[in-house]
């Protein structure tokens, strides 16, 4: 009998249980690729951003937002800076905390979403975008001239690109409607916008259009269409109030209508969140977070409660971010009516001077 037979016979009498107790183990080594580590330097001081404006997002309804073509003058924030998103301090769920902790810097998000700008944003403007992006309720209270419009538009643009918002209502005073329309064309040209205007039938049709991500309306128009906007089947992903001090009076009709609009996010833009008394701030927060602030709270309590939801910068505070004053001459083409008025004034003026003869002095010219 061979050695092989002996080995076979020696195992023949073993039970099935004995055989199962000797499993065959295969081992192998797996070579993992090296991990790339990216590091950023964070200064001890927290900056907050200013504003500029430009066009970009060409969104298809609510689901598809294709990349837009950007001209050769488009810019992106300078490399090397890392602007982290600024989540609220009151986040409780670990899931929410990890979500913001694992988010890349704002500059990286711009690269991923291929967001270019007509002008390079200032550092404090990037901080403002990071502040708004992370909040469902926020007051951007920068001093006038620091770019609240640009910061709001860029944040809306980023949220739309990441499909976190598909319907935005922007409310502003009537004289500022065309300005917002122009700034969206500059800072977010690919985002479809529509200005609500016209008679009741036309306005109802425009409200129901789903092709435009952003709908722009003035405060007076909201009062006329309040019944529709506060109905159960109307809801916005984001409602933005420009010159939000317009709703500071909680007993006004404008405040009541705005507060009743269903929304997932709410932002208020104002350079004067407190004009006369702390009741003004309570009125604005009654729209952002109903019941969060009370007129019975003292100044210290109001500051402690609202501080994490308000971002305010002054020109003096961000002076180091601002460039020196620039002077630029721009040629402006006159309209046909303006040319006619100019020509008539010139011709009539020359005739009048000629008729005066030697009595003409420099004061008549």
All structural domains of the chain with their residue ranges: 94-317, 332-365
Residue 318, CA atoms < 13 Å, CB-side half-sphere: 28
Tell me: the pLDDT tens digits for 236-271? 999 999 999 999 999 999 999 999 999 999 999 999
Report pLDDT for 363.
53
Report pLDDT for 50.
40
Tell me: the pLDDT tens digits for 84-137? 777 777 665 677 777 767 777 778 888 877 888 888 889 999 999 999 998 899
DSSP string, 28-65: ----PPPPP-------SSPP------------BTTTB-
CATH for 94-317 (1.10.10.10, 3.30.420.40, 3.40.50.10810, 3.40.309.10): 3.40.50.10810
Tell me: the pLDDT tens digits for 274-325? 888 899 999 999 999 999 999 999 999 999 999 889 999 998 888 877 777 7
What's the start-to-end Cα distance of the chain, in Å?
134
Tell me: the pLDDT tens digits for 193-233? 999 999 999 999 999 988 899 999 999 999 999 999 999 88
Lowest-pLDDT choice from 26-30, 68-72, 339-343: 68-72
Report pLDDT for 334.
86
Tell me: the pLDDT tens digits for 126-171? 999 999 998 899 999 999 989 999 999 999 999 999 899 999 999 9
SS3 content of the chain, % helix, strand, coil (to 5): 40, 10, 50
Lowest-pLDDT choice from 27-31, 75-79, 171-175: 27-31
Question: Is the pLDDT score of 24 beyond 70?
Answer: no
Spatial neighbors of 256 by CB under 8 A, at least 6 apart, are none
Report pLDDT for 173.
95
> pTM for this one?
0.67
Report pLDDT for 64.
35
Report pLDDT for 34.
46
Spatial neighbors of 222 by CB under 8 A, at least 6 apart, are 171, 229, 254, 257, 258
Distance CA 171, CA 185 (A): 17
Instruction: Name the CA radius of gyration of the chain, rounded.
Output: 31
CA angle 204-208-212, nearest 5°?
120
Question: Is the pLDDT score of 9 beyond 90?
Answer: no
Distance CA 136, CA 244 (A): 16
Question: Is the pLDDT score of 28 beyond 50?
Answer: no
């Amino acid at each position: 009998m061979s050695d092989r037979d002996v080995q076979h016979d020696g195992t023949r009498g073993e039970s099935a249980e004995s055989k199962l107790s000797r499993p065959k183990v295969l081992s192998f080594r797996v070579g993992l690729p090296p991990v790339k580590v990216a590091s950023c330097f964070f200064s001890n001081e927290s900056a907050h951003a200013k504003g500029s404006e430009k066009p970009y997002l060409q969104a298809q309804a609510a689901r598809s937002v294709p990349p837009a073509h950007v001209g050769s003058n488009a810019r992106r924030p300078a490399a090397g800076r890392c602007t982290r998103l600024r989540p609220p301090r009151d986040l409780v769920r670990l899931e929410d905390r990890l979500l913001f902790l694992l988010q890349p810097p704002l500059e990286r998000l711009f690269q991923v979403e291929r967001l270019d700008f007509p002008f390079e944003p200032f550092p404090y403007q990037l901080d403002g975008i990071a502040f708004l992006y992370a909040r469902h309720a926020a007051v951007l209270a920068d001093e006038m001239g620091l770019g609240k419009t640009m910061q709001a538009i860029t944040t809306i643009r980023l949220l739309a690109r990441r499909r976190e918002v598909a319907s935005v209502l922007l409310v502003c005073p009537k004289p500022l409607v065309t300005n917002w329309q122009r700034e969206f064309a500059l800072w977010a040209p690919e985002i479809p916008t529509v200005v609500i205007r016209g008679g009741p039938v036309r306005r109802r049709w425009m409200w129901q259009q789903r092709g435009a991500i952003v709908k722009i309306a003035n405060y007076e128009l909201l009062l006329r269409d309040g019944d529709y906007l506060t109905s159960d089947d109307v809801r916005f992903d984001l409602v933005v109030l420009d010159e939000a001090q317009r709703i500071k009076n909680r007993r006004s009709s404008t405040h009541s209508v705005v507060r009743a609009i269903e929304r997932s996010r709410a932002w208020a833009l104002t350079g004067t969140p407190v004009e006369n008394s702390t009741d003004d701030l309570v009125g604005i927060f009654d729209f952002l977070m109903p019941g969060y602030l009370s007129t019975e709270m003292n100044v210290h309590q109001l500051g402690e409660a609202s501080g994490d939801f308000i971002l305010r910068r002054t020109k003096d505070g961000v002076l180091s971010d601002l460039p020196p004053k620039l002077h630029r001459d721009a040629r402006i083409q006159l309209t046909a009516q303006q040319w006619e008025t100019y020509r008539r004034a010139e011709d009539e003026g020359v005739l009048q001077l000629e008729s005066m003869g030697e009595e003409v002095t420099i004061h008549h010219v």
